[in-house]
Structure formats: C-alpha cells, structure tokens
Amino acid sequence: MNPMVKAEGVCKRFGSLEVLKGIDLEVQPGEVMCIIGPSGSGKSTFLRCINHLEKVDAGRLSVDGDLVGYEQRGDKLYELRENEVAQKRQEIGMVFQRFNLFPHMTALENVIEAPVQVKGESKASARERGVALLHQVGLGDKTTSYPRQLSGGQQQRVAIARALAMQPKLMLFDEPTSALDPELVGEVLSVMRQLAKDGMTMVVVTHEMEFAREVADSVVFMDGGVVVESGPPEDVIRSPKHERTKAFLARVLKKD
Ligand SMILES: Nc1ncnc2c1ncn2[C@@H]1O[C@H](COP(=O)(O)OP(=O)(O)OP(=O)(O)O)[C@@H](O)[C@H]1O
Ligand SMILES: [Mg+2]
C-alpha cells in the first residue's frame, strides 16, 4: 500500500527566503497527522505544496503514489498540464482558516456546487448526498440557510461538508478553528474527530494541542522550515526531546 502523502527533501523558497528546507515525512492511509509550530515556520506552505497550490523547488512529493504536479516517464519528470493538476487536486479536500463559502448560495448549494459543476454529477444525486453530508456535520436543519445566517462554526462545518462532497481521499486542514470564537471551536473539532474515526486520512495544521493529543496518530513539530521532531503525540507533546519543541509547547500550553 502506498503512503497517502510522502515528502522527501521538499524545499520551497520565495525569492531569497527559504521557507521549506528539506521536509521528509509520510502519512499513511487512515492516519491523522497534526502539524504544529510557530508562525512563519512553513506549515501552510507545506500544505499548499501537497495540493500543488505551490510548486516545490527541490525534493519529491507524492500523494497516493502519484507525484504531485509531475509525471515520471523513465527517469525524467514531466510537468503536468493545469487541467491534469486540477484533476488531481479534486482528490484532496482543503479547509482553510477562513471559510470561503459562496455568499450568494445556501449551505446545500455550496456543498453541491463542485460535484455538479466540476464532476458533472446529477443535481438530484448531489443534493441527496449533500443533505446527508450536512446532517453528518450537524447542520441537517440549515440546508437552506445562507452563510450570513450561520455562525462561524456552522460556516466552517459547511466548508467541511463541501470538501467532503468531492469524496476526497485526503483532507488538509489549515488552522480550521483559529478564526472562530472560542465557544464555536468545539463543534468544528468534534466533526473533525468523527471524520478521523471514520477513517479519513487527514493532515491538520493546528494550535489545538488537546485535539492533537487526542486525535492525532502522529504529531510533527516544524520550526524554521524543518521538521524538528515528530512521532506519536505522547512523545512529541507530552515528552518532547528538543529544546525548540519544549519552548514552543510551553508557550502555547500556557495560553490554554
Ligand atoms: N507567496 C508568498 N510569497 C512570499 N513569501 C511567502 C509567501 N507565502 C508565504 N511566505 C513566507 O513564508 C514563510 C512561511 O509562511 P507560512 O504561511 O507557510 O507559515 P506558517 O507556518 O503557516 O505560519 P502561521 O502559523 O502564521 O500560519 C513566512 O515567512 C511567509 O511570510
Ligand atoms: Mg499558516
């Protein structure tokens, strides 16, 4: 079985700024990986490389055995065309800090938009699945609500349902709860917890240490564009080995 994500020596720079300096990691199918680390350490950039919103400068990155953005023939790499990249990106769901729902569409319309427009699914079948997905995220009674009529936590749950509507094999979350009022964080985390239980492969950038401790199979601490420390949460969060990990955790755990 292929790892769902495999990064080998992934490097990324913006001009003279080296943001990723050789990231190596693997995410197995069904695994939940939480990535933690200080602001500017390259967490979002790494996530964006996984679905080829950013191009890596060196190293290799593959999703479910396929190189991200490239095709290998013999020992040569060929860059995929934009429509081929878009095709691959459909297999990966992404949820951002800001919900980015279409404001002029209801919750259900938001959820069925991509399956209908991009995949050509029939409206009837997309609606049926969409309603089920909204139920799954606890919003069965909000199918006809517009984003402005929903709380931040509800909007974020619609965003999760919308990503799931494309039946992704991998879900990427970039600080999905950090724009939410504290009392709304729990409802989003509980949807993510259930998703993890159902076996979804997930890479989650988060500052929610309790969630990471409880739900993650592995935790990766990034700092300055490198993986400083990784392993099961009981190692990385409960008994970190590196000074940088200890200092970071002392800072974020104090806030809790
Ligand atoms: N498109 C870009 N052009 C130039 N610099 C960028 C670009 N995107 C990110 N950077 C820089 O790369 C570095 C890493 O950014 P990144 O967003 O990956 O960090 P992060 O770990 O996600 O931080 P945070 O916790 O604040 O979200 C930062 O110094 C950032 O300013
Ligand atoms: Mg970020």
For ligand 1, atom 31, name the residue with the nearest CA: 40
CA distance 33 to 28: 9
Ligand nearest to the CA of 41: 1
* pLDDT over 70 at 188, yes or no: yes
For ligand 1, atom 4, name the residue with the nearest CA: 14
Distance 184 CA to ligand 2 centre (A): 20
* pLDDT over 80 at 256, yes or no: no
51 ligand 1 Cβ < 6 A: no
Confidence of residue 255 (pLDDT cuts 50, 70, 90): low
**Angle 207-179-214 (CA atoms, 0-180°, nearest 5)?**
30
pLDDT of residue 247: 96
14 ligand 1 Cβ < 6 A: yes
Beta strands in the chain (DSSP E): 5-14, 17-27, 32-36, 58-63, 66-67, 70-73, 76-79, 92-95, 170-174, 202-205, 218-223, 226-231
Percentage, residues of the chain above pLDDT 90: 88
How many secondary structure helices (H) and strands (E) does the chain include?
9, 12
Instruction: Indicate the pTM of the whole model.
Output: 0.95
* pLDDT over 90 at 228, yes or no: yes
19 ligand 1 Cβ < 6 A: yes
In tens, the pLDDT along 75-118 reads: 888 889 988 888 889 999 999 998 789 999 999 999 999 999 99
- Determine contact, residues 126/112, Cβ cutoff 8 Å: yes
For residue 241, report the phi and psi dihedrals to the nearest 5 degrees: -95, -35
Return the domain boundaries, the chain: 93-167
The average pLDDT across 162-180 equals 96
Distance between terminal CA atoms of the chain? 39
For ligand 1, atom 10, name the residue with the nearest CA: 14
Pick the residue with more confidence: 79 or 45? 45
Distance 40 CA to ligand 2 centre (A): 7
Pick the residue with more confidence: 83 or 136? 136
Distances (CA, A) of 184 to 22, 153, 179, 194: 36, 5, 10, 16
